[in-house]
Amino acid sequence: MGAGTPSVRGLCVAVDVHYLRSGGARAAAVVAADAAFSRVAAEHTVMVPEVAAYRSGEFYRRELPPLRVVLDGIAGLGLLVIDGYADLDPGGRPGLGAHTHAEFAVPVIGVAKSAFRTATHAVPVLRSTSARPLYVTAAGMPRAEAAELVRLMAGRFRVPDALRRADQLARTGPSAALRRSPG
């Protein structure tokens, strides 16, 4: 990355979880050696046969177990990027990212595609030619650094390629090819 760009030590991993009609979930991880995800080093998917039911305000209880499984065995984590919020309000009410940071002890960047009414502290990030921002929060690193990393992540569309790929893998499994379409 260029001068003035925040650096990250260790592997950078974008993750996502998709909940199946069967009651289970498929979790996916996209691994790169750099925070821009300029070259994907590995992809991992796992099936989790059972997950907790959704409970308002406790989404992390449903999401963390599949993330634990997909991240198991990935040594040298330096950064996790999630689809969602790290914290839910300026007071620091923990969201999935904060719980993930506490669990894995690495910085976590939350990248949300839509605004959450109480997350007025989220940094809006415009990528490519999109007029709609992503909303970036972070745990374990400053929000401004996280926003800059998201802005510089590989991909020509609104959502960085690594998050798009993790979403695709979680939805359809490892045989899915990366499709280039506006995010």
> What pTM did the predictor assign?
0.90
pLDDT in tens, 2-21: 444 566 889 999 999 999 98
- Looking at residue 55, its pLDDT comes to 76
Which pLDDT tens digits describe the chain residue by residue (183 residues)? 444 456 688 999 999 999 998 889 999 999 999 999 999 999 999 999 988 877 776 778 789 999 999 999 899 999 999 999 999 999 989 999 999 999 999 999 999 999 999 899 999 999 988 999 999 999 999 999 999 999 999 999 999 999 999 999 999 987 654 443 334
* CATH number of this structure's domain 11-172: 3.30.2170.10
With vertex at residue 81, the alpha carbon angle to CA 44 and CA 177, rounded to the nearest 5 degrees, is 40
Predicted local distance difference test score (pLDDT) of residue 176 = 52
CB count in 10 Å sphere of residue 92: 12
Q: What does the pLDDT read at residue 31?
A: 98
Taking the domains of the chain in order of start, what are their residue ranges? Answer: 11-172
Per-residue pLDDT, 61: 79
- pLDDT of amino acid 136: 98
- Give the tokens for residue 179: 């499709």
Give me the pLDDT at residue 178, please. Answer: 45
